[in-house]
Every structure is written in C-alpha cells, then in structure tokens.
Structure 1
C-alpha cells in the first residue's frame, strides 16, 4: 500500500520537475543576440575584434561592433544619394532608388536609438521594415522570412475563404469607380458595388491579406486598406520592370524576394524561379485584381513539398 501511494506522487514530482526542460530548448534573448552577432561575424558583416573571454568584455565589444556597423550603414545611405540615377533604366536601379527614399525616412528615428548604447544589442529584434536596408543583419532577415511563412500558414483559412469569395462573386476589389456613375447602380460583372465593398469589410480578411504580402498589421485597419493598395501599385510597376529586364540577371536571393513580395512565400526554393517565370507570363501584365486572385489561389491550392502530404 505504501508503494502504491508513494509511486503516483513520485511520478507527479518527476513530471513537474521535467516541465522546465521543455522551455530550455528555446534560446534566451541574450543567446539569440549572441548567435546573430557570431553569425554576422562569420559572414564578414560585422568586424571581428578578437576573442571575448567574459560577459563584460563580450557586451562591450559587441556594442562597439554594432555601433560601428550601424554608423557605417547610415553614412552609406547618405553617400549613396549622389551615386543613384534619378532616371533609372533597369529594375535594379529603380528598386535601389525606391529603397534609398525609404532608408532616408528611417535614418532620423534610428539615430535616436544610437544615443543609448545599452539598447543597441536589442535593435536586432526590430523588424527589418523599421530599419534602413544597410544595417540589417542576416539573422534578422531569416527571422523575418520564418515569421512571414508562419503568419501566412496561420492565415490560410481566411485566405481560402477570400479566394472562394472572389471565385463565387467574380468581384474586383481594386476597381476604381467612375465618379459620374451612381454608386448603387454600378454593377461589376453582375455584382453590385455593395458586394465589392463587402470583400474588405471583415478585418480578419484584410489582416490575412496583409500577412500574405508581409505587410504590418496596422495597414489592415483602413477600409479599403491603403497599405494593400499601395503594395499592389508597387507590384504593378515592379512587374513591368521584370517583364522589361527578364529574369536571367536575378540571383537566388532576388528571386526569393520577388516571390515573397507577390504573396508566394510558401513556394519551395527549387520551384521559386519557375513560379516567378509563370507569374510574368500569365499575371504580370494583368490587373491588380488578377494579382490578388493569383496569390490567393496559390495560397489556397498549393501544397508545400515539406509538408509531406
């Protein structure tokens, strides 16, 4: 009887004692900072100032490394202004000019962070969209890509519903109405404007589409969502440059970036180039409604290879 009573208590204690072990597999904040810095050092992104024998030396050296990296990146953005052509002739020049304008708007708020060296190591947890392009570590890009894929997978139910709604109603979410026409009398492919407006009515649907394109969640708040419309305008222009320049000069990272921007992030690495070529042949010259529908269809119907289904 004694053994019978004690044994369950021992099992309970052992079970409780093992619970913290499940959280030990997740790296701490400081471990992730160290891993990002070590990875950037090995890639030559951060300068290597020698061994760091203790925690105090590691913190001081890493802070100086990041301060040097961030300051160099900011000066690079400032110097780059004079080297860029105001009339781009290639997609790379056009994208670099666009990136330059975005970087210039981020420098001032980022410089405020440089005033406090203690928080510099924690800047690596900021989303890359908040930072100038010249001061983003490889670890930040990997986390952004992983978070993008995870958010799209979580949004798949809403994305599938949005795709079915487009298929059923044949609506065009991005069609601009003629001011001379009565809003209640306008009909799009047999569907009244009220049905078109309903597509953006549910915030869960707007948020899912923001996740699809890797846009911040706050851009899903307006109706219609101005952030999504702005991104579609960017894709329209980017598609025109891709059609003009072709895909032969794109590297693997550029191909991956292009498919992610088009809401095709679930595609495997081996299929990314062929999918982007298909996009240029069948979608790139179409309307923004066709772009959205193609991205939703891909999310609703595509089965990733790694799922093993």
Structure 2
C-alpha cells in the first residue's frame, strides 16, 4: 500500500516536474499556431497516469512539425511587407485627392500664361504706332516727290546713296523754308504799300489786294513759332503739317501740303452738313421766329458748334469763344460781300476762287454740280444780304448759313 502510494506519488512528481518544462514550449507555440491549442487541451485533460506520455507526445509533435529556426525567420520576414504594402496604397490615395492635385496643375501655368500676353501686348501697341509712322513717312515722301516734280525742290543727284539723298533733301527743305521766311517779309512790305496807297487817296483796295493783306498779316503772326520749330526741331514739321497745319505760314507750304489742308477742311464741312442737317433746320426755324432777338441768345452750344463746323472754323472751346470766332469770321465775310458786289457780283472769279468763296460762306460744293449752280448760289447769298443794316447783319448771315446747312436755297 505504502509502496503503491510511493510509486504513484513518484510518477505524479515526475509528471509535474516534466510538465512545467514543456509548458513554456507549448505557450510559445500556442501564440503562433492554432493546431497547438487543440493538442494542449487533450494533453491536459488526460489522467495523471498518462500525463507524462501526453506531455511527452505533445512536445514531440511540436518539435517535429515545425522547426524553431524556420518559424523565427518566417516571423521576422512577413512583418516588414505589411507596412510596405500599406504605404503605397496610402500615397496613391493622397495623390488622388483634389487638394494636392490642383496646386500641382496651377503652379506651372502662371509662368507660361503671362509670356504670350507680354509678347502679344507690344505687338498690339506697336501696330498703331507703326502705322502712324508709315503714314507720316509716306506723306513726307509724297510731298518731297511732288515738290520735285513742280520744280520747287531739286531732286537728289543720280546714283546718290541713301544718306546722300537724305542730306540733299534736308538742305533743299531748309532752302525752301528760308525762301518762305524771306517771302513773308516781302509780302508784308507790299501789303504796307497797298495800305499807304489807299490811305493817300489812290485806287481803292480790290478784293484780291484785301485778301493778300490779310494773308500777309496772318503769316507774320505765325513767323515766330515757325522759326522756333526750324531752329529747335526741324524734323517735327511733317507732323505739324499733318496735325496742326494752321501753325505754318502760307509761304512755307508745299503744294501737296496745301492741297491736304484744303481737303481736310472740305471733309469737315461735308461731315457737319450731313450729320447736323436736322439741327440746321431747327436753328433756321428759331431764327425766323425771333428776328429781333440777339444772336447769342438764339445760339446754344450745339448750334454754335454746328455753325462753326460748317464754316470750317475751330469747334474747340467754350461757347463764348465759339461765338467770338463766328462773329469775327462773318464780319470778314461782310467786307468780302461788299467787294464782290462792287466787282460784278463775283462773275469775274475763277472756278477755284468761286468755290473758295462759297466754302467760306458755309455753302457746300458737292461733286457733280455745274459751275453755273455755284454762281447761282453765290448770287443767292449776295441777294439776301443786300440792304441789311449792321444790327441785323450778323443775324442775317447766321440764318443763311443755317439755311445752307439745311439745304434751303
């Protein structure tokens, strides 16, 4: 009895002492393999008599199924791939978001977009300036060629270089302007002689002589600014001829330049006659309805601008300045009317002089009209101003200008 108990206790002690040794191995295997868990409960559920064999079998099955060295290598290798597999997915998702993608697309565009704009803007700005330069150069060349054909300027010598021909033209222009300046003083001396003759009781001043005296006085007033242009900036004279022809004296204008000035005046008169025709009719009715009212009270700013434009006068300035220009011009026309009546009512005028007389009175000469119609319209003007006193002279002539603009002759 005691011996059997001793043997059982010895066996149990051996089983207990062997089980803890194998338990760490079981615990280490249970962490990573599921089939170890199935073996361990079976081994633990055995009786005490077979515990040693179960534990011994369990430890052998664990040691023979998977070697410990291979499991350690497999444990260390699969750990890095999961983060490596997850990282590219996260980066790919971040790239697909609209937030980071938009700045990446917009950043290269700003430096490329202003380049064509900066390259195109100078071209757009340079086109009008280049066209203006070409028109000025072409007009100057045309003036020089035309003056050479008329014998006013000597043409460049044959075979001259570009610089040589340019220097020759500059010298010829300077000679022409110098002759024009001397002609101003000569005309002024002739005008004084005519005035002295009339004051001394000689022959009365004719229409041509009176216009000559007025032209010489205007040229004398323009002499000082013209000398300034020649001395300081002679190259700007073609620009002055194109945009401010009234600054130049009449003796310093080439034939083509004079023709250009006359053409611009006629174009201005034609534009006002076409566009402002209803306004001329309204002004005509207003002047007829108020014969005793002062003229400045009947002319507003729009009417003053329209009347001055039809007379080829300047339309720049306030109403008081426009009225003063109109009054001065019509006073000159009144003196010219008296001289025309004395000289056969203008029947001795040439065709160019007749047209100039009509345009000065605001009577537009359209293409296709016979010279006889020109003469009849001048007679219409002279007939309506005949016998008008000085107080009604201004009102009568403004009414005739408005009637001419409205087409009522």
TM range (shorter): 0.7 to 0.9
- Structure 1 counterpart of 2:364: 265
State whether residues 241 and 248 of structure 2, in contact with CA within 8 Å, keep that contact through their aligned partners in structure 1.
Answer: no
User: Offset at 1:83?
Assistant: 2.2
Which range is displaced more, 45-54 or 243-252? 45-54
Alignment correspondent of 1:98: 214
Q: How does 1:83-94 map to 2 (within 5 A)?
A: 83-84=190-191, 85-86=194-195, 87=198, 88-94=204-210
Match of 1:275 in 2: 377
The answer as to 2:257 corresponding to 1:151 is: no
Contact 2:154 2:172 in 1 (8 A): yes
Alignment deviations for residues 161-210 of structure 1 (CA, whole Å, 9 cap, x no partner): 133233145266xxxxxxxxxxxxxxx55xx66xx5453322x3222222
Q: Does the 8 Å contact 2:283/2:402 carry over to 1?
A: no
1:43 to 134, 142, 150: 150
Pairing 1:24-63 to 2, within 5 Å after superposition: 28-51=135-158, 53-63=160-170
Quick one: structure 1 residues 135 and 265, their matched pair in 2 at CA, closer, same or farther if it must change by over 3 Å? farther
Pair 96,223 (structure 1): closer, same or farther in 2 beyond 3 Å: closer
The equivalent residue for 1:299 is: 405
Q: Is the 8 A contact 1:49 1:61 kept in 2?
A: yes
Name the CA distance, whole Å, in 2 between partners of 1:92 and 1:277.
Answer: 19
TM-score, length of structure 1 as denominator length: 0.72
Separation (CA, whole Å) in 2 of partners of 1:197 and 1:80: 37
Partner Cα separation in structure 2 for residue 171 and residue 66 of structure 1: 56
Pairing 1:213–2:311 present: yes
Matches of 1:208 and 1:227 in 2, distance apart?
13
Call closer, same or farther: CA 1:224–1:128 in 2, change over 3 Å: closer
Cα distance between partner residues in 2 of 1:297 and 1:52: 59
Task: Please name the residue that 1:110 is paired with.
Answer: 226
Structure 1 residues 58 and 124: CA distance shift in structure 2, 3 A: farther
Q: Which runs of 5+ in 1 are unaligned?
A: 1-19, 173-187, 304-309
Work out the CA distance in 2 between the residues paired with 1:62 and 1:200.
50
User: How far off its partner does 1:231 sit?
Assistant: 0.2
Asked if structure 1 preserves the Cα contact closer than 8 Å seen for 2:176 and 2:252, the reply is yes
TM-score, normalised to structure 2, is 0.56
Q: Secondary structure at the match of 2:190?
A: coil
Change (3 A) 1:285 1:254: farther
1:169 and 1:210, CA in 2 relative to 1: closer, same or farther beyond 3 A? closer
Shift of the 252–46 alpha-carbon distance from structure 1 to 2, 3 Å rule, reads farther
Question: Cα distance 1:233–1:67, how it changes in 2: closer, same or farther (>3 A)?
Answer: same
Q: 1:223: Cα distance to partner? A: 5.9
Range with greater deviation from structure 2 (79-88 or 31-40): 79-88
Aligned residues: 261
Structure label with greater radius of gyration: 2
1:31, distance to aligned residue in structure 2 (A) = 0.6
Question: Is 1:252 paired with 2:368?
Answer: no
Residues 1:233 and 2:331 aligned together: yes
Instruction: Tell me which protein shows more helix as a share of its residues.
Output: 2
